[in-house]
Amino acid sequence: MTKETILKLLLDHKGEILSGPDLSKELGVSRNSVWKAINTLRKENHQIISVKNKGYFLEVNSDGLSGQEILKNLGPAQSDYNILILDQIPSTNTYLKDHEELSHNTIVLANVQTQGRGRRGKSFYSIDEGGIYMSFLKKKNLEDYDLGFVTMASALALSEVTDQVLGTKSQVKWVNDLFVSGKKIAGILTEGTMELETRTLSSLIIGIGININTKIFP
């Protein structure tokens, strides 16, 4: 919890220096605990700068994943979501399938996937920190989903947002890939779990992988 609280304070005062003693006092922990939390956040790509005898500040353009920042951009809907950010896991889809205790509307993001997956057993290259790798978990109102169109609807939504943010003209390649200027920039993998006795869907997982600045492809 210390790490998340420090990140929130740094985000709330982005570009401003916060002293180690002040952070220690605010959180009720030792300065060594603050230092350890800062180092962990740095490993997660948060660009935290140390200023000798003054403290720490988060660079304005820091691009590390932040659950607080994501929730902030969801507006009034933020209370409906639970966000988990992990450093390295086999796959965000697999993580959700392996943790049945997670609640409806949980979103898992990972800096690295060691076993990223695509449709029909294909692999999705995601072993460096050059992309956004995430999965959404749905457990409620699953009867409202037309399962034959979930993947396509997700791809169309991703295309629309991508074009709005980047000013691109993306294209969806049937049924789960997104292309810009002839190059694949994203893929979607939709999976579900079934209740065997009732033969009903118990959870729906929508995985999205986006290539942003991936350095090397195999």
User: What is the DSSP track for the chain?
Assistant: -HHHHHHHHHHHTTTS-B-HHHHHHHHTS-HHHHHHHHHHHHHTT--EEEETTTEEEE-TT-----HHHHHHHTGGGGGG-EEEEEEEES-HHHHHHH-TTPPTTEEEEEEEESS-B-GGG-B----SSSEEEEEEEE-SSGGG--TTTHHHHHHHHHHHHHHHHH----EEETTTEEEETTEEEEEEEEEEEEETTTTEEEEEEEEEEEESS-----
**Is it the case that residue 205 has pLDDT exceeding 90?**
yes
Q: Residue 123: pLDDT band by 50, 70, 90 thresholds?
A: low
Six-digit token string for 28:
């009720």
**Residue limits of CATH 3.30.930.10 in the chain:** 67-211
**Residue limits of CATH 1.10.10.10 in the chain:** 1-58
pTM of the entire predicted model = 0.68
Cα 130 from Cα 208, distance rounded (Å):
14
pLDDT at 136: 93
Q: What is the largest CA-CA distance in the chain?
A: 64
Mean model confidence pLDDT for the chain: 81
Q: Residue 67: pLDDT band by 50, 70, 90 thresholds?
A: low
CATH topology of domain 67-211: BirA Bifunctional Protein; domain 2 (3.30.930)
- The CATH number given to 1-58 is 1.10.10.10
